[in-house]
Structure 1
Protein backbone atom coordinates (compact mmCIF):
# COMPACT_ATOMS: atom_id res chain seq x y z
CA UNK A 1 0.00 0.00 0.00
CA UNK A 2 1.39 3.45 -0.86
CA UNK A 3 1.86 5.79 2.07
CA UNK A 4 1.26 9.53 2.39
CA UNK A 5 2.44 11.65 5.30
CA UNK A 6 0.15 14.68 5.51
CA UNK A 7 1.60 17.77 7.21
CA UNK A 8 -0.97 20.48 7.92
CA UNK A 9 -1.00 24.12 8.87
CA UNK A 10 -4.47 24.10 10.50
CA UNK A 11 -4.74 27.91 10.54
CA UNK A 12 -4.03 28.37 6.80
CA UNK A 13 -6.77 30.20 4.92
CA UNK A 14 -8.64 31.08 8.13
CA UNK A 15 -9.02 27.44 9.11
CA UNK A 16 -9.30 25.89 5.64
CA UNK A 17 -6.16 23.84 6.31
CA UNK A 18 -7.80 21.60 8.90
CA UNK A 19 -11.01 21.30 6.87
CA UNK A 20 -9.14 20.33 3.69
CA UNK A 21 -7.10 17.71 5.54
CA UNK A 22 -10.28 16.21 6.94
CA UNK A 23 -11.79 16.11 3.42
CA UNK A 24 -8.63 14.62 1.91
CA UNK A 25 -7.85 11.76 4.30
CA UNK A 26 -10.92 9.64 3.43
CA UNK A 27 -10.12 10.04 -0.26
CA UNK A 28 -6.59 8.71 0.31
CA UNK A 29 -7.97 5.78 2.29
CA UNK A 30 -10.58 5.05 -0.37
CA UNK A 31 -7.80 4.87 -2.97
CA UNK A 32 -5.92 2.30 -0.89
CA UNK A 33 -3.32 4.62 0.65
CA UNK A 34 -2.08 4.52 4.21
CA UNK A 35 -1.79 7.97 5.83
CA UNK A 36 -0.03 9.58 8.77
CA UNK A 37 -1.35 13.02 9.75
CA UNK A 38 0.98 15.55 11.39
CA UNK A 39 0.35 19.11 12.56
CA UNK A 40 2.99 21.72 13.31
CA UNK A 41 2.33 24.34 15.96
CA UNK A 42 4.59 26.84 14.20
CA UNK A 43 6.98 27.09 11.25
CA UNK A 44 9.94 25.71 13.18
CA UNK A 45 8.11 22.63 14.40
CA UNK A 46 6.59 22.10 10.95
CA UNK A 47 10.06 22.09 9.39
CA UNK A 48 11.28 19.55 11.95
CA UNK A 49 8.26 17.36 11.22
CA UNK A 50 8.78 17.67 7.47
CA UNK A 51 12.39 16.54 7.75
CA UNK A 52 11.43 13.60 9.96
CA UNK A 53 8.70 12.68 7.49
CA UNK A 54 11.08 12.72 4.51
CA UNK A 55 13.54 10.55 6.46
CA UNK A 56 10.82 7.86 6.61
CA UNK A 57 10.74 7.82 2.77
CA UNK A 58 6.97 7.84 2.23
CA UNK A 59 5.55 7.71 -1.27
CA UNK A 60 4.61 11.39 -0.91
CA UNK A 61 4.88 14.19 1.64
CA UNK A 62 1.57 16.03 1.39
CA UNK A 63 1.58 19.69 2.43
CA UNK A 64 -1.77 21.09 3.48
CA UNK A 65 -1.69 24.87 3.71
CA UNK A 66 -0.54 27.87 1.73
CA UNK A 67 2.68 28.80 -0.01
CA UNK A 68 4.46 29.09 3.34
CA UNK A 69 3.71 25.45 4.16
CA UNK A 70 4.82 24.39 0.69
CA UNK A 71 8.06 26.32 1.21
CA UNK A 72 8.66 24.39 4.44
CA UNK A 73 8.15 21.13 2.58
CA UNK A 74 10.60 22.18 -0.13
CA UNK A 75 13.36 22.64 2.46
CA UNK A 76 12.88 19.03 3.56
CA UNK A 77 12.25 17.33 0.21
CA UNK A 78 14.79 19.13 -2.01
CA UNK A 79 17.55 16.80 -3.13
CA UNK A 80 15.68 13.64 -2.07
CA UNK A 81 13.58 11.09 -3.91
CA UNK A 82 10.48 11.89 -1.82
CA UNK A 83 7.95 13.87 -3.89
CA UNK A 84 5.66 16.50 -2.42
CA UNK A 85 1.92 16.78 -2.92
CA UNK A 86 -0.18 19.86 -2.21
CA UNK A 87 -3.58 20.40 -0.62
CA UNK A 88 -3.84 24.15 -1.36
CA UNK A 89 -5.54 25.84 1.58
CA UNK A 90 -3.82 29.24 1.80
CA UNK A 91 -4.62 32.73 0.55
CA UNK A 92 -2.35 32.95 -2.50
CA UNK A 93 -1.62 29.30 -3.37
CA UNK A 94 0.72 30.31 -6.18
CA UNK A 95 2.74 27.11 -6.14
CA UNK A 96 -0.46 25.09 -6.50
CA UNK A 97 -1.56 27.37 -9.36
CA UNK A 98 1.56 26.42 -11.30
CA UNK A 99 0.12 22.91 -11.63
CA UNK A 100 -3.56 23.89 -11.99
CA UNK A 101 -4.39 22.08 -8.76
CA UNK A 102 -7.96 22.40 -7.41
CA UNK A 103 -7.98 25.19 -4.83
CA UNK A 104 -9.94 24.80 -1.61
CA UNK A 105 -11.22 21.28 -2.37
CA UNK A 106 -9.48 18.70 -0.21
CA UNK A 107 -11.05 15.60 -1.75
CA UNK A 108 -10.35 16.69 -5.33
CA UNK A 109 -6.76 17.64 -4.51
CA UNK A 110 -6.19 14.29 -2.79
CA UNK A 111 -7.53 12.42 -5.80
CA UNK A 112 -5.15 14.37 -8.02
CA UNK A 113 -2.21 13.28 -5.84
CA UNK A 114 -3.18 9.60 -5.82
CA UNK A 115 -3.50 9.55 -9.62
CA UNK A 116 -0.47 11.68 -10.52
CA UNK A 117 3.04 10.76 -11.56
CA UNK A 118 5.96 12.70 -10.07
CA UNK A 119 7.15 15.69 -12.08
CA UNK A 120 10.74 16.88 -11.54
CA UNK A 121 11.20 20.66 -11.33
CA UNK A 122 13.87 23.22 -10.52
CA UNK A 123 14.12 25.28 -7.36
CA UNK A 124 15.81 28.58 -6.60
CA UNK A 125 18.25 28.74 -3.69
CA UNK A 126 19.51 31.53 -1.46
CA UNK A 127 22.27 30.21 0.79
CA UNK A 128 20.85 26.96 2.15
CA UNK A 129 17.18 27.97 1.70
CA UNK A 130 15.06 27.09 -1.30
CA UNK A 131 12.05 28.71 -2.88
CA UNK A 132 9.79 27.52 -5.65
CA UNK A 133 8.06 30.70 -6.76
CA UNK A 134 9.20 34.32 -6.96
CA UNK A 135 11.61 36.47 -4.95
CA UNK A 136 10.19 39.98 -4.48
CA UNK A 137 12.84 42.66 -4.04
CA UNK A 138 11.25 46.07 -4.57
CA UNK A 139 7.90 47.80 -4.12
CA UNK A 140 6.26 44.42 -3.55
CA UNK A 141 8.74 43.58 -0.78
CA UNK A 142 8.16 46.94 0.92
CA UNK A 143 4.42 46.23 0.92
CA UNK A 144 5.10 42.86 2.57
CA UNK A 145 7.17 44.54 5.27
CA UNK A 146 4.44 47.08 6.03
CA UNK A 147 1.70 44.43 6.01
CA UNK A 148 3.63 42.27 8.46
CA UNK A 149 3.77 45.20 10.89
CA UNK A 150 -0.01 45.76 10.72
CA UNK A 151 -2.32 44.12 13.24
CA UNK A 152 -5.51 44.94 11.37
CA UNK A 153 -7.21 43.94 9.12
CA UNK A 154 -6.54 40.26 8.46
CA UNK A 155 -6.16 38.45 5.16
CA UNK A 156 -5.79 39.98 1.71
CA UNK A 157 -7.25 43.37 2.77
CA UNK A 158 -4.16 43.97 4.93
CA UNK A 159 -1.98 43.81 1.81
CA UNK A 160 -4.36 46.03 -0.15
CA UNK A 161 -4.14 48.74 2.51
CA UNK A 162 -0.38 48.36 2.77
CA UNK A 163 -0.14 48.77 -1.01
CA UNK A 164 -2.16 51.99 -0.92
CA UNK A 165 -0.08 53.35 1.96
CA UNK A 166 3.23 52.68 0.23
CA UNK A 167 2.06 53.85 -3.17
CA UNK A 168 1.60 57.39 -1.82
CA UNK A 169 5.30 57.74 -1.00
CA UNK A 170 7.06 55.22 -3.21
CA UNK A 171 9.98 56.28 -5.40
CA UNK A 172 12.23 54.23 -7.71
CA UNK A 173 15.00 52.32 -5.95
CA UNK A 174 18.70 52.17 -6.83
CA UNK A 175 19.87 48.64 -7.68
CA UNK A 176 23.12 46.90 -8.36
CA UNK A 177 22.53 43.61 -10.18
CA UNK A 178 24.95 40.89 -11.18
CA UNK A 179 23.43 38.74 -13.91
CA UNK A 180 25.56 35.65 -14.54
CA UNK A 181 28.61 37.71 -13.63
CA UNK A 182 27.68 40.88 -15.57
CA UNK A 183 27.09 43.94 -13.36
CA UNK A 184 24.33 46.47 -13.98
CA UNK A 185 23.48 49.65 -12.05
CA UNK A 186 20.03 51.12 -12.51
CA UNK A 187 16.89 52.48 -10.89
CA UNK A 188 13.69 50.42 -10.87
CA UNK A 189 10.34 50.13 -9.14
CA UNK A 190 11.00 46.48 -8.44
CA UNK A 191 13.16 43.50 -9.29
CA UNK A 192 11.64 40.02 -9.16
CA UNK A 193 13.40 36.68 -9.58
CA UNK A 194 11.14 33.86 -10.73
CA UNK A 195 11.56 30.13 -10.67
CA UNK A 196 7.82 30.08 -11.32
CA UNK A 197 5.65 32.69 -13.06
CA UNK A 198 3.52 34.27 -10.31
CA UNK A 199 3.23 35.48 -6.74
CA UNK A 200 0.61 37.22 -4.62
CA UNK A 201 -2.27 34.94 -5.61
CA UNK A 202 -1.82 34.88 -9.38
CA UNK A 203 0.10 38.08 -10.19
CA UNK A 204 2.21 36.86 -13.12
CA UNK A 205 5.16 39.18 -12.56
CA UNK A 206 7.64 36.69 -14.10
CA UNK A 207 5.23 35.62 -16.83
CA UNK A 208 6.83 32.99 -19.04
CA UNK A 209 9.06 31.47 -16.36
CA UNK A 210 9.32 27.68 -16.68
CA UNK A 211 9.73 25.34 -13.72
CA UNK A 212 12.05 22.91 -15.48
CA UNK A 213 14.28 24.93 -17.84
CA UNK A 214 17.31 25.27 -15.55
CA UNK A 215 17.02 29.08 -15.58
CA UNK A 216 15.76 31.94 -13.43
CA UNK A 217 13.68 34.77 -14.88
CA UNK A 218 14.78 38.19 -13.62
CA UNK A 219 12.18 40.90 -14.28
CA UNK A 220 12.75 44.64 -13.88
CA UNK A 221 10.05 47.26 -13.82
CA UNK A 222 12.01 50.43 -14.50
CA UNK A 223 10.79 53.85 -13.25
CA UNK A 224 7.15 54.65 -13.97
CA UNK A 225 4.75 57.19 -12.48
CA UNK A 226 2.35 56.19 -9.73
CA UNK A 227 -0.53 56.53 -12.21
CA UNK A 228 1.22 54.18 -14.65
CA UNK A 229 1.93 51.71 -11.84
CA UNK A 230 -1.75 51.65 -10.86
CA UNK A 231 -2.86 51.26 -14.49
CA UNK A 232 -0.37 48.46 -15.11
CA UNK A 233 -1.30 46.48 -11.99
CA UNK A 234 -4.38 44.68 -13.48
CA UNK A 235 -2.24 43.49 -16.41
CA UNK A 236 -0.17 41.38 -14.01
CA UNK A 237 -3.02 38.87 -13.75
CA UNK A 238 -2.64 37.74 -17.37
CA UNK A 239 0.91 38.77 -18.24
CA UNK A 240 0.03 41.75 -20.45
CA UNK A 241 2.51 43.91 -18.52
CA UNK A 242 5.33 42.36 -20.57
CA UNK A 243 4.48 44.80 -23.38
CA UNK A 244 5.13 47.87 -21.19
CA UNK A 245 8.20 49.83 -22.38
CA UNK A 246 9.65 49.86 -18.84
CA UNK A 247 9.49 46.07 -18.50
CA UNK A 248 12.74 44.14 -18.89
CA UNK A 249 13.45 40.39 -18.61
CA UNK A 250 16.66 38.40 -18.28
CA UNK A 251 17.12 34.62 -18.07
CA UNK A 252 20.10 33.59 -15.95
CA UNK A 253 21.49 30.84 -13.74
CA UNK A 254 22.62 33.19 -10.98
CA UNK A 255 21.71 36.71 -9.92
CA UNK A 256 22.84 38.94 -7.06
CA UNK A 257 20.53 41.82 -6.11
CA UNK A 258 21.59 44.77 -3.94
CA UNK A 259 19.51 47.79 -2.91
CA UNK A 260 19.80 49.65 0.41
CA UNK A 261 17.07 49.04 2.96
CA UNK A 262 15.15 46.41 0.97
CA UNK A 263 14.18 43.01 2.39
CA UNK A 264 13.61 40.08 0.03
CA UNK A 265 10.49 37.87 0.24
CA UNK A 266 9.98 34.57 -1.57
CA UNK A 267 6.99 32.19 -1.40
CA UNK A 268 5.56 34.80 0.97
CA UNK A 269 8.39 34.20 3.45
CA UNK A 270 10.98 36.72 4.65
CA UNK A 271 14.40 35.73 3.26
CA UNK A 272 16.33 38.70 4.63
CA UNK A 273 17.81 42.05 3.61
CA UNK A 274 19.56 42.60 0.29
CA UNK A 275 22.10 41.88 -1.08
CA UNK A 276 20.95 38.36 -1.85
CA UNK A 277 22.35 35.87 -4.35
CA UNK A 278 19.94 33.47 -6.04
CA UNK A 279 21.05 30.30 -7.85
CA UNK A 280 18.92 27.87 -9.82
CA UNK A 281 19.09 24.21 -8.76
CA UNK A 282 17.93 22.13 -11.73
CA UNK A 283 15.79 19.07 -10.98
CA UNK A 284 15.83 19.78 -7.25
CA UNK A 285 12.45 18.34 -6.23
CA UNK A 286 9.62 16.11 -7.43
CA UNK A 287 5.97 17.15 -7.29
CA UNK A 288 2.89 14.90 -7.54
CA UNK A 289 0.79 17.01 -9.90
Structure 2
Protein backbone atom coordinates (compact mmCIF):
# COMPACT_ATOMS: atom_id res chain seq x y z
CA UNK A 1 0.00 0.00 0.00
CA UNK A 2 1.31 3.41 -0.93
CA UNK A 3 2.38 6.02 1.58
CA UNK A 4 1.47 9.62 0.79
CA UNK A 5 2.56 13.05 1.91
CA UNK A 6 0.07 15.75 0.93
CA UNK A 7 1.60 19.21 0.68
CA UNK A 8 -1.17 21.79 0.92
CA UNK A 9 -1.17 25.37 -0.26
CA UNK A 10 -3.60 26.81 2.34
CA UNK A 11 -4.41 29.85 0.18
CA UNK A 12 -5.23 27.97 -3.05
CA UNK A 13 -8.64 28.31 -4.63
CA UNK A 14 -9.92 30.69 -1.97
CA UNK A 15 -8.72 28.39 0.84
CA UNK A 16 -10.58 25.37 -0.54
CA UNK A 17 -7.50 23.14 -0.77
CA UNK A 18 -7.91 21.62 2.69
CA UNK A 19 -11.59 20.86 2.05
CA UNK A 20 -10.76 19.20 -1.27
CA UNK A 21 -8.03 17.10 0.34
CA UNK A 22 -10.39 15.89 3.08
CA UNK A 23 -12.63 14.22 0.51
CA UNK A 24 -9.73 12.46 -1.20
CA UNK A 25 -8.03 11.59 2.11
CA UNK A 26 -11.10 9.77 3.38
CA UNK A 27 -10.98 7.36 0.43
CA UNK A 28 -7.22 6.86 0.68
CA UNK A 29 -7.37 6.06 4.40
CA UNK A 30 -10.36 3.78 4.04
CA UNK A 31 -8.29 1.80 1.53
CA UNK A 32 -5.53 1.46 4.16
CA UNK A 33 -3.08 4.02 2.79
CA UNK A 34 -0.87 6.04 5.10
CA UNK A 35 -1.37 9.77 4.56
CA UNK A 36 0.48 12.66 6.17
CA UNK A 37 -0.62 16.24 5.62
CA UNK A 38 1.80 19.17 5.61
CA UNK A 39 0.78 22.82 5.23
CA UNK A 40 3.30 24.93 3.38
CA UNK A 41 4.40 28.37 4.58
CA UNK A 42 5.89 29.23 1.21
CA UNK A 43 6.72 27.59 -2.10
CA UNK A 44 10.30 26.99 -0.95
CA UNK A 45 8.96 25.30 2.20
CA UNK A 46 6.64 23.12 0.09
CA UNK A 47 9.57 22.08 -2.09
CA UNK A 48 11.68 21.13 0.95
CA UNK A 49 8.84 18.96 2.29
CA UNK A 50 8.43 17.35 -1.13
CA UNK A 51 12.12 16.50 -1.50
CA UNK A 52 12.33 15.01 1.99
CA UNK A 53 9.18 12.94 1.50
CA UNK A 54 10.29 11.75 -1.93
CA UNK A 55 13.61 10.59 -0.54
CA UNK A 56 11.68 8.54 2.03
CA UNK A 57 9.85 6.75 -0.80
CA UNK A 58 6.54 8.46 -0.16
CA UNK A 59 4.23 9.61 -2.95
CA UNK A 60 4.16 13.42 -2.85
CA UNK A 61 0.78 15.04 -3.48
CA UNK A 62 0.57 18.70 -4.47
CA UNK A 63 -2.73 20.08 -3.14
CA UNK A 64 -3.63 23.41 -4.70
CA UNK A 65 -3.31 25.07 -8.09
CA UNK A 66 -0.74 25.24 -10.84
CA UNK A 67 1.69 27.25 -8.73
CA UNK A 68 2.25 24.59 -6.10
CA UNK A 69 1.94 21.82 -8.69
CA UNK A 70 4.72 23.38 -10.76
CA UNK A 71 6.84 24.16 -7.72
CA UNK A 72 6.65 20.65 -6.26
CA UNK A 73 6.78 18.90 -9.62
CA UNK A 74 9.82 20.98 -10.48
CA UNK A 75 11.51 20.08 -7.19
CA UNK A 76 10.97 16.36 -7.86
CA UNK A 77 11.97 16.53 -11.54
CA UNK A 78 14.99 14.37 -12.22
CA UNK A 79 14.46 12.18 -9.15
CA UNK A 80 12.82 8.79 -8.64
CA UNK A 81 10.08 10.29 -6.45
CA UNK A 82 6.45 9.75 -7.48
CA UNK A 83 4.26 12.82 -7.83
CA UNK A 84 0.48 13.14 -7.59
CA UNK A 85 -1.99 16.01 -7.92
CA UNK A 86 -5.05 16.98 -5.92
CA UNK A 87 -6.25 19.96 -7.98
CA UNK A 88 -7.74 22.69 -5.78
CA UNK A 89 -6.65 26.01 -7.26
CA UNK A 90 -7.89 28.64 -9.69
CA UNK A 91 -6.59 27.12 -12.90
CA UNK A 92 -5.63 23.45 -12.38
CA UNK A 93 -4.31 23.43 -15.94
CA UNK A 94 -1.66 20.72 -15.58
CA UNK A 95 -4.21 18.43 -13.92
CA UNK A 96 -6.50 19.17 -16.87
CA UNK A 97 -3.76 18.21 -19.33
CA UNK A 98 -3.31 14.90 -17.49
CA UNK A 99 -7.06 14.22 -17.69
CA UNK A 100 -7.46 13.91 -13.93
CA UNK A 101 -11.08 13.61 -12.72
CA UNK A 102 -12.78 16.18 -10.48
CA UNK A 103 -14.65 13.53 -8.49
CA UNK A 104 -12.71 12.72 -5.26
CA UNK A 105 -13.31 8.96 -5.31
CA UNK A 106 -12.17 8.62 -8.93
CA UNK A 107 -9.08 10.72 -8.21
CA UNK A 108 -8.27 8.66 -5.10
CA UNK A 109 -8.50 5.45 -7.13
CA UNK A 110 -5.91 6.80 -9.56
CA UNK A 111 -3.61 7.75 -6.69
CA UNK A 112 -3.98 4.30 -5.16
CA UNK A 113 -3.82 2.09 -8.25
CA UNK A 114 -2.27 3.85 -11.23
CA UNK A 115 1.25 3.01 -12.29
CA UNK A 116 3.58 6.04 -12.41
CA UNK A 117 4.11 7.41 -15.90
CA UNK A 118 6.93 9.68 -16.96
CA UNK A 119 6.17 13.18 -18.20
CA UNK A 120 8.36 16.01 -19.43
CA UNK A 121 9.22 19.13 -17.44
CA UNK A 122 10.64 22.53 -18.45
CA UNK A 123 13.89 24.03 -17.21
CA UNK A 124 14.01 27.85 -17.25
CA UNK A 125 17.13 29.97 -17.33
CA UNK A 126 17.18 33.74 -17.01
CA UNK A 127 18.76 36.46 -14.89
CA UNK A 128 16.56 35.48 -11.95
CA UNK A 129 15.72 31.82 -12.64
CA UNK A 130 18.86 29.74 -12.95
CA UNK A 131 17.57 26.25 -13.62
CA UNK A 132 14.07 26.64 -12.17
CA UNK A 133 11.90 23.72 -13.33
CA UNK A 134 8.17 24.04 -14.07
CA UNK A 135 5.50 21.82 -15.60
CA UNK A 136 3.02 23.49 -17.91
CA UNK A 137 4.35 26.40 -19.95
CA UNK A 138 6.56 29.46 -20.08
CA UNK A 139 4.82 32.49 -21.61
CA UNK A 140 5.91 36.04 -22.37
CA UNK A 141 3.93 39.13 -23.27
CA UNK A 142 0.33 40.11 -22.76
CA UNK A 143 -0.62 36.77 -21.18
CA UNK A 144 2.03 37.19 -18.47
CA UNK A 145 0.60 40.65 -17.77
CA UNK A 146 -2.93 39.18 -17.74
CA UNK A 147 -1.85 36.51 -15.27
CA UNK A 148 -0.41 39.18 -12.99
CA UNK A 149 -3.76 40.98 -13.01
CA UNK A 150 -5.62 37.70 -12.37
CA UNK A 151 -3.44 36.86 -9.38
CA UNK A 152 -4.12 40.29 -7.94
CA UNK A 153 -7.90 39.94 -8.30
CA UNK A 154 -9.77 39.94 -4.99
CA UNK A 155 -13.30 39.58 -6.33
CA UNK A 156 -13.05 37.07 -9.18
CA UNK A 157 -11.88 33.45 -9.20
CA UNK A 158 -11.07 30.77 -11.76
CA UNK A 159 -11.67 31.44 -15.45
CA UNK A 160 -13.44 34.75 -14.70
CA UNK A 161 -10.32 36.21 -13.08
CA UNK A 162 -8.17 35.21 -16.05
CA UNK A 163 -10.64 36.61 -18.58
CA UNK A 164 -10.92 39.90 -16.71
CA UNK A 165 -7.14 40.02 -16.37
CA UNK A 166 -6.82 39.43 -20.11
CA UNK A 167 -9.19 42.26 -20.96
CA UNK A 168 -7.29 44.62 -18.69
CA UNK A 169 -3.93 43.61 -20.14
CA UNK A 170 -4.98 43.90 -23.79
CA UNK A 171 -6.38 47.40 -23.38
CA UNK A 172 -2.97 48.70 -22.26
CA UNK A 173 -0.67 46.46 -24.32
CA UNK A 174 1.44 47.72 -27.21
CA UNK A 175 3.08 45.26 -29.56
CA UNK A 176 6.60 44.16 -28.73
CA UNK A 177 9.36 43.04 -31.08
CA UNK A 178 10.38 39.54 -30.00
CA UNK A 179 13.31 37.40 -31.10
CA UNK A 180 12.40 33.75 -30.65
CA UNK A 181 15.14 31.16 -31.12
CA UNK A 182 13.90 27.58 -31.54
CA UNK A 183 16.63 24.94 -31.48
CA UNK A 184 19.13 27.48 -32.80
CA UNK A 185 16.93 29.00 -35.51
CA UNK A 186 15.90 32.63 -35.00
CA UNK A 187 12.41 33.94 -35.73
CA UNK A 188 11.47 37.64 -35.65
CA UNK A 189 8.02 38.18 -34.16
CA UNK A 190 6.10 41.38 -33.51
CA UNK A 191 2.98 40.97 -31.49
CA UNK A 192 1.23 40.00 -28.31
CA UNK A 193 2.71 36.84 -26.93
CA UNK A 194 5.05 33.86 -27.18
CA UNK A 195 4.29 30.60 -25.35
CA UNK A 196 6.57 27.58 -24.95
CA UNK A 197 4.11 24.88 -23.92
CA UNK A 198 4.52 21.42 -22.44
CA UNK A 199 0.80 21.33 -21.61
CA UNK A 200 -2.03 22.28 -23.95
CA UNK A 201 -3.70 24.47 -21.30
CA UNK A 202 -3.04 27.67 -19.41
CA UNK A 203 -5.10 30.48 -17.89
CA UNK A 204 -7.79 28.22 -16.36
CA UNK A 205 -8.66 25.94 -19.26
CA UNK A 206 -7.59 27.99 -22.26
CA UNK A 207 -6.19 25.63 -24.89
CA UNK A 208 -3.28 27.76 -26.00
CA UNK A 209 -1.30 24.88 -27.54
CA UNK A 210 -3.71 22.13 -28.63
CA UNK A 211 -0.92 20.01 -30.09
CA UNK A 212 1.22 19.99 -26.94
CA UNK A 213 1.77 16.62 -25.25
CA UNK A 214 3.28 16.20 -21.79
CA UNK A 215 5.30 13.14 -22.76
CA UNK A 216 6.65 13.70 -26.29
CA UNK A 217 9.97 15.34 -25.42
CA UNK A 218 9.03 18.54 -27.25
CA UNK A 219 7.67 22.01 -26.52
CA UNK A 220 5.00 23.60 -28.71
CA UNK A 221 5.75 27.26 -29.43
CA UNK A 222 2.70 29.46 -30.07
CA UNK A 223 3.22 33.05 -31.25
CA UNK A 224 0.35 35.52 -31.71
CA UNK A 225 1.22 38.41 -33.99
CA UNK A 226 0.12 42.03 -33.85
CA UNK A 227 -3.54 42.43 -34.83
CA UNK A 228 -6.44 44.84 -34.24
CA UNK A 229 -7.67 44.61 -30.65
CA UNK A 230 -11.11 43.38 -31.69
CA UNK A 231 -9.46 40.43 -33.46
CA UNK A 232 -7.38 39.66 -30.40
CA UNK A 233 -10.57 39.44 -28.32
CA UNK A 234 -11.89 36.95 -30.91
CA UNK A 235 -8.69 34.97 -30.52
CA UNK A 236 -9.16 34.95 -26.75
CA UNK A 237 -12.60 33.41 -27.19
CA UNK A 238 -11.20 30.79 -29.58
CA UNK A 239 -8.73 29.65 -26.92
CA UNK A 240 -11.57 27.63 -25.40
CA UNK A 241 -11.33 25.17 -28.31
CA UNK A 242 -7.88 25.76 -29.75
CA UNK A 243 -9.37 27.08 -33.01
CA UNK A 244 -7.08 30.12 -32.87
CA UNK A 245 -4.12 28.13 -34.25
CA UNK A 246 -5.77 28.07 -37.70
CA UNK A 247 -5.65 31.87 -37.98
CA UNK A 248 -2.89 33.53 -40.04
CA UNK A 249 -2.00 35.73 -37.04
CA UNK A 250 -0.87 32.63 -35.13
CA UNK A 251 2.37 30.75 -35.78
CA UNK A 252 3.04 27.34 -34.22
CA UNK A 253 6.51 25.81 -34.02
CA UNK A 254 8.02 22.89 -32.12
CA UNK A 255 11.39 22.48 -30.47
CA UNK A 256 13.40 21.34 -27.48
CA UNK A 257 14.99 24.63 -26.46
CA UNK A 258 13.39 28.04 -26.90
CA UNK A 259 14.92 31.41 -26.08
CA UNK A 260 12.60 34.43 -25.94
CA UNK A 261 13.95 37.99 -26.08
CA UNK A 262 12.29 41.36 -26.66
CA UNK A 263 13.15 44.94 -27.54
CA UNK A 264 11.91 46.27 -24.22
CA UNK A 265 11.10 45.09 -20.70
CA UNK A 266 8.45 42.40 -21.31
CA UNK A 267 7.18 40.18 -18.48
CA UNK A 268 7.21 36.41 -18.60
CA UNK A 269 5.61 33.83 -16.34
CA UNK A 270 5.32 30.09 -15.83
CA UNK A 271 2.66 27.84 -14.28
CA UNK A 272 0.68 30.88 -13.14
CA UNK A 273 3.26 32.03 -10.59
CA UNK A 274 6.78 32.84 -11.75
CA UNK A 275 7.24 36.48 -12.78
CA UNK A 276 10.24 38.32 -14.21
CA UNK A 277 11.27 40.11 -17.39
CA UNK A 278 12.74 38.69 -20.58
CA UNK A 279 15.03 37.22 -21.78
CA UNK A 280 14.36 33.62 -20.76
CA UNK A 281 15.33 30.21 -22.12
CA UNK A 282 12.99 27.21 -21.79
CA UNK A 283 14.42 23.71 -22.31
CA UNK A 284 12.41 20.50 -22.21
CA UNK A 285 13.56 17.74 -19.84
CA UNK A 286 12.13 14.58 -21.41
CA UNK A 287 10.55 12.04 -19.04
CA UNK A 288 11.99 13.79 -16.01
CA UNK A 289 9.02 13.34 -13.62
CA UNK A 290 7.08 10.25 -12.50
CA UNK A 291 3.38 11.09 -12.16
CA UNK A 292 0.21 9.22 -11.20
CA UNK A 293 -2.51 9.86 -13.77
Specify if TM > 0.5: yes
- The Cα shift of 1:42 comes to 2.2
- Unpaired segments ≥5 residues, structure 2: 126-130
How do 1:1-289 and structure 2 match up within 5 A? 1-58=1-58, 60-103=59-102, 105-127=103-125, 128-148=131-151, 150=152, 152-156=154-158, 157-259=160-262, 260-289=264-293
User: TM-score with structure 1 length normalisation?
Assistant: 0.93
SS at match of 2:25: helix
User: TM-score with structure 2 length normalisation?
Assistant: 0.92
State whether residues 256 and 278 of structure 1, in contact with CA within 8 Å, keep that contact through their aligned partners in structure 2: yes
Structural RMSD (CA): 1.6
State whether residues 266 and 277 of structure 2, in contact with CA within 8 Å, keep that contact through their aligned partners in structure 1: yes
Aligned length: 286
SS at match of 2:212: coil
- The Cα shift of 1:258 comes to 0.6
Distance 1:26 1:161, change over 3 A: closer
- The Cα shift of 1:201 comes to 1.1
- Unpaired segments ≥5 residues, structure 1: none
State whether residues 147 and 203 of structure 2, in contact with CA within 8 Å, keep that contact through their aligned partners in structure 1: no
Q: What CA distance in whole angstroms lies between the structure 2 residues aligned with 1:53 and 1:162? A: 36
State whether residues 118 and 291 of structure 2, in contact with CA within 8 Å, keep that contact through their aligned partners in structure 1: yes
